[in-house]
Amino acid sequence: VQTVYTFGGSADHSDERQKDKTVTGGKGANLAEMASIGLPVPPGFTITTEECVKYLQEGAEFGEELRAQVAGALKHIEATVGKSFGDASDPLLVSVRSGARVSMPGMMDTVLNLGLNDDTVAGLASASGDARFAWDSYRRFIQMYADVVLGLDHGLFEEALEIAKDEKGLYADTEMEARDWKELVAEYKTIAEKELGHPFPQDVTEQLWGAIQAVFDSWDSDRAKVYRRLNDIPAHWGTAVNVQAMVFGNMGATSATGVAFTRDPATGERAYYGEYLINAQGEDVVAGIRTPQYLTKAAREKANAKPLSMEEAMPEAYGELARVFDLLEHHYKDMQDIEFTVQQGTLWMLQTRSGKRTAKAALKMAVDMVGEGLIDEKTAILRVDPMALDQLLHPTLDPKAHRDILGTGLPASPGAASGKIVLDADTAEQWSGRGEKVILVRVETSPEDIHGMHAAQGILTARGGMTSHAAVVARGMGRPCVSGASTVSIDRASKTLRIGNRELKEGDTITIDGANGQIMAGEVRTIEPELAGDFGVLMEWADKHRRMRVRTNAETPADCKMARQFGAEGIGLCRTEHMFFDASRIRAVRQMILAEDEKTRRAALDKLLPEQRADFKAIFEVMVGLPCTIRLLDPPLHEFLPHEDADFADLADATGLGVDHLKRRAGELHEFNPMLGHRGCRLGITFPEIYEMQARAIFEAACEVAKTSGEAPIPEVMIPLIATKRELEILKALVDKAAAEVFAAQGIAVDYLVGTMIELPRAALMAGEIAEEGAFFSFGTNDLTQTTLGVSRDDSARFLAPYVEKGIFPRDPFVSLDIEGVGQLVELAAERGRATRPDIKLGICGEHGGDPASIAFYESVGLDYVSASPYRVPIARLAAAQSSL
Ligand code: PEP
Ligand code: MG
């Protein structure tokens, strides 16, 4: 098969393989594409990725067949340019560059000016009429080739250059004359020979193969391996090699080189954006030695810069470039990121690809391009990365502001926040009550900290993963959170903390960035989110094209309102325990739990009933007409127990029971493994009065709202942590009984459902039977992941990072569903549930409900809805639309 493809000049670009990135790499495929639509591309050829894979597998040998194909392709370049490789009077020079399927910036190798030696340098000097240019090119070549191909320390060459300049009293490279470069070349060759034990290679064919080999080898360099691992790029892809006739941007004042975007990648505005340098070679623009100049006059004027823009300095080449920009956008139907060179007034294109962009720019471009007729709505929906929307929904740190970074943790909940350090929830509430901004810093948070979390601008914890209590609650509240920052150590007694080697105290100001996990000293400026029109437009298109519904995980009226603004179509999970931990109610809750007989327990529950009813009523009022899944009490009893002496004393006062008695009772309820202990439906089975009270509160609230607003919410009462059909049977009967009693008393009935969470492997396996009792399933993938993997969701942060680094898990399974494993249980339970009850409602309310990669999977198994925390709702809407296209 053909494994070398030529492009440019009269090359035939009709073979589809040549435009396939998997074969010729991104750069090679796009060079062929550009050449085939008539854009000015210097002629060249691409050696396919298949050759790289073969070379790496078969132990570094090049076959005769490949050598013959390369020789033929080189002739194509020579014929097109009208110069010969190695010709001492007017040599062809080439560049040799890597080009994998996806761009891996700076990871692999490039050699420029290849084909220069002691003979051809003279030819280049006479043919170009510029000896300085020729000798400068030769020294650049030796330096690059020695580094990339021969593996010599580039520091040796840089040092020699510095010494040469020093001796001559020169400061900048541009001050070096032809003679100076020539002397330096001699010096470079001496260095190379000394290091290598033989002279620097003069045979141009040997140079070419050396460079090809180096590009292939660079696929397996350490830095490329790290990059592949971080970006999920498989090792078996390999890289292609592109050999291309050199064009020179460093041939005087009519030459230049630059990089450009066809639209502004930061704002999405339809304005050319880029930089160029007159009389320079490619690396000079990115190397930062000279300050590049603006492309357009408008950009230059806006920045108040002096050096002329390309539009002003080279109007003709600029005009040609602008024409190429438009052709490229119409051809690729996307914003392009390009590299170009102008050689003595003539424009050449060296690369094009779809450009990276900010979320804001992605939205604007997608919407604008539909308006321009360039793409359709579906394409626009697919253009925007749902996760990138996160950037838009929260205040973010001003990228221009200085950051004094103290440490990093997990990016648990996006957004940025600054405030004074407080070390407990009560202080957070007090300080915020007097108008101060605070960041709550805890080893880890517990449900008792809710009020403090709510009062704080942001939350920082030393322990806990992405689904730790702090992370889940913070995302739900839309509070920025950095969790599992293991370099944070807190000393509650002295009210101080250390972050790394820095000492801080309560009251000091810090800033956290929940988008990347950074913790910074002092206040860093933020910018407010701007939900501009484009956001709304794209969301409308997404809603039109998605099948799955999107609900929210929320338990306060404020969060429900916010979620509705973000487009939520119901509540998928209302965690009622958050209402129990409220500071004003915890006493009654504790009293109920520590009660030793039903009578005392009922007395405590009677106090809670009106409060719960009020909670539900407030939520239902926001959600009239929409389904609201209310989950009955779930957390381990253990978590409600008092810890501090003061709590016991307080409780003793309230109940009239002795402190010793209460402590003994608390001791009895202590658990070693609360997550697998007395929680979920086990509470309802052992203390049915609790679920009875909750069910009553739900139905009474629903009836009241139905009476006042004329329209009822649709309660879906959800029983957590079911493992058997019998559990659900017992508890469903209890809920139905409460409903019947309330409806009879109120003289009005509302529609409702009783269903269950599927969060234990046994429940998934027995789903067929469980569906006989449950009208809906909601997958609790947090617990299902924890119980299927046998990995504690609260303790995993300590060891999951190395697990992901070593490729044991592709991603944190508490963030992105383990589709291979846990996904099987979801699929199987969905099938078995539907077999029993064809109209069973299926949803997901674990944290994975808002993860785009997991959402594609839910679409494939046909779930009816996903539920996500309010700020994730737009992300889920977009991801659901993408997954159904
Ligand atoms: C779950 O387990 O996925 C779930 C949604 O419940 P919780 O996170 O409250 O345990
Ligand atoms: Mg759960």
pLDDT digits (tens, 9 = 90+) for 522-555: 999 888 676 668 999 999 999 999 999 999 999 9
Question: What digits encode the pLDDT tens for the residues 601-656?
Answer: 899 899 999 999 999 999 999 999 999 999 999 988 888 888 888 888 988 888 88
Q: Express each pLDDT in 116-161 by its tens digit.
A: 999 999 999 999 999 999 999 999 999 999 999 999 998 999 999 9
Q: Is 65 annotated as a binding residue?
A: no
pLDDT in tens, 656-671: 888 998 899 888 888 8
Please, what sign has the CA dihedral across residues 474, 480, 486, 488?
negative
Burial class, 854, CB count within 10 angstroms (exposed 0-12 / middle 13-18 / buried 19+): buried
Q: 779 CA to middle of ligand 1, Å? A: 9
Q: Which of 473, 634, 858 to mutate to test the pocket of ligand 1 (most atoms within 8 A of CB)?
A: 634
Q: Which of 555, 631, 759, 869 to mutate to test the pocket of ligand 1 (most atoms within 8 A of CB)?
A: 759
Q: Does ligand 1 have an atom closer than 6 angstroms to the CB of 636?
A: no
CB atoms within 10 A of CB 402: 9
Q: Looking at the CA of 780, which ligand is closest? A: 1
Q: Which residue has the tokens 């998605």?
A: 546
Asked whether the beta carbons of 98 and 109 are under 8 A apart, the reply is yes
Residue 472 Cα: closest atom of ligand 1:
8
**Burial zone of 543 (CB within 10 Å; 0-12 exposed, 13-18 middle, 19+ buried):** middle
* Closest-lying ligand 1 atom to the alpha carbon of residue 467: 8
Lowest mean pLDDT among 232-236, 543-547, 737-741: 232-236
Distance of alpha carbon 113 from alpha carbon 123, whole angstroms: 14
User: Picking from 364-373, 479-488, 736-745, which range would have the lowest pLDDT averaged per residue?
Assistant: 479-488
What token pair was written down for 216?
């292939």
**Span 59-83, average pLDDT:** 93
Ligand 1 centre distance from Cα of residue 781 (Å): 7
Q: Would you give the end-to-end CA distance of the chain in angstroms?
A: 36
pLDDT(241) > 80: yes
* Ligand lying nearest the CA atom of residue 869: 1
Of 40-44, 233-237, 753-757, the range with the lowest mean pLDDT is 233-237
CA of residue 472 to ligand 1 center, whole Å: 9
**304 is known to lie in a ligand binding site:** no
Residue 22: burial class (beta carbons within 10 Å; 0-12, 13-18, 19+): middle
- The per-residue pLDDT for 658 is 87
Q: Which comes out higher in pLDDT, residue 290 or 584?
A: 584
**Pocket of ligand 1 contains residue 783 by CB under 6 Å:** yes
Task: Calculate the average pLDDT of the chain.
Answer: 91
Inter-residue contact 384 to 357 (CB < 8 Å): no
- Mean pLDDT across the stretch 832-855? 97
The CB of 575 under 6 Å from ligand 1? The reply is yes
Q: Which of 103-107, 206-210, 339-343 has the lowest mean pLDDT?
A: 103-107
| Tally of residues, the chain | 885
Q: Quick check: CB of 844 below 6 Å from ligand 1?
A: no
Q: By alpha-carbon position, which residue is closest to atom 8 of ligand 1?
A: 782
pLDDT at 766: 98
Cβ–ligand 1 distance for 846 under 6 Å, the answer yes
pLDDT of residue 233: 83
Q: Annotated binding residue at 575?
A: yes
Q: Could you tell me which residue, 228 or 677, shows the higher pLDDT?
A: 677
Tell me how far the alpha carbon of residue 602 lies from the centroid of ligand 2, in angstroms: 26
Which pLDDT score, from 0 to 100, does residue 223 have? 79
How large is the average pLDDT for residues 474-481? 78
Atom of ligand 1 nearest to the CA of 848: 3
| More confident call, 110 vs 720 | 720
Q: Is 621 annotated as a binding residue?
A: no
The answer, yes or no, to whether any atom of ligand 1 lies below 6 A from the CB of 756, is no
When pLDDT is averaged across residues 1-18 and rounded to a whole number, the result is 94
pLDDT score at 18: 96
* Residue 759 marked ligand-binding: yes
Q: Which residues are catalytic?
A: 469, 845
- Domains of the chain, CATH where assigned: 73-245 (1.20.80.30), 256-357 (3.30.470.20), 395-527 (3.50.30.10), 546-567+759-885 (3.20.20.60), 576-730+740-753 (3.20.20.60)
Judge if the beta carbon of residue 833 lies within 6 A of ligand 1.
no
Res. 359 pLDDT band, cuts 50 70 90: confident
pTM of the model: 0.79
Give the pLDDT confidence score for residue 583 in this predicted structure: 72
**Which of 845, 854, 865, 869 best tests ligand 1's pocket when mutated (most atoms within 8 Å of CB)?**
845
Determine the pLDDT at residue 395.
76
Take atom 4 of ligand 1 and give the residue whose Cα is closest: 780
Task: Judge residue 602's burial from the number of C-beta atoms within 10 Å of its C-beta, 0-12 exposed, 13-18 middle, 19 or more buried.
Answer: middle
Angle at 138 between CA 136 and CA 142, to 5 degrees: 120
Choice between 772 and 358, residue whose per-residue pLDDT is larger: 772
Secondary structure (DSSP) of 823-869: HHHHHHHHHHHHHH-TT-EEEE-SGGGG-HHHHHHHHHHT-SEEEE-
Quick: pLDDT tens for 301-341: 987 888 899 999 999 999 999 999 999 999 999 999 999 99
Q: How far apart are the CA of 636 and the centre of ligand 1, in A?
A: 13
Q: What integer is the mean pLDDT of 159-176?
A: 88
264 pLDDT band (50/70/90 cuts)? confident
Which pLDDT score is estimated for 430? 92
Which ligand is nearest to the Cα of residue 629, counting in written order?
1
Q: What is the pLDDT of residue 795?
A: 87
pLDDT at 448 over 80: no
pLDDT digits (tens, 9 = 90+) for 751-785: 999 999 999 999 999 999 999 999 999 999 999 99
Give the mutation target among 466, 472, 574, 575 for probing the ligand 1 site: most ligand atoms within 8 A of CB.
Answer: 575
Q: What is the pLDDT of residue 461?
A: 93
Q: What is the mean pLDDT of residues 51-55?
A: 94
Tell me how far the alpha carbon of residue 55 lies from the centroid of ligand 2, in angstroms. 51
Task: Give residue 30's identity as a one-letter amino acid code.
Answer: N
Question: Residue 859 C-alpha to ligand 1 middle, in angstroms?
Answer: 20
**Ligand 1 atom closest to Cα of residue 846:** 3
Residue 450 has a pLDDT of: 81
Look at ligand 1, atom 1, and give the residue with the nearest C-alpha.
780
Assembly ipTM? 0.99
Does ligand 1 come within 6 angstroms of the Cβ of 573? yes
Residue range 403-446, pLDDT digits in tens: 999 999 988 887 899 999 999 999 999 999 888 999 999 998 87
Residue nearest to atom 6 of ligand 1 (CA): 780
pLDDT score of 578: 76
The whole-number pLDDT of residue 444 equals 86
Q: Give the model's pLDDT for residue 103.
A: 79
Among 330, 328, 341, smallest CA distance to 39 is for 328
Q: Could you tell me the distance, in angstroms and rounded to a whole number, from the CA of residue 373 to the centre of ligand 2? A: 47
> What integer pLDDT is reported at residue 643 of this predicted model?
83
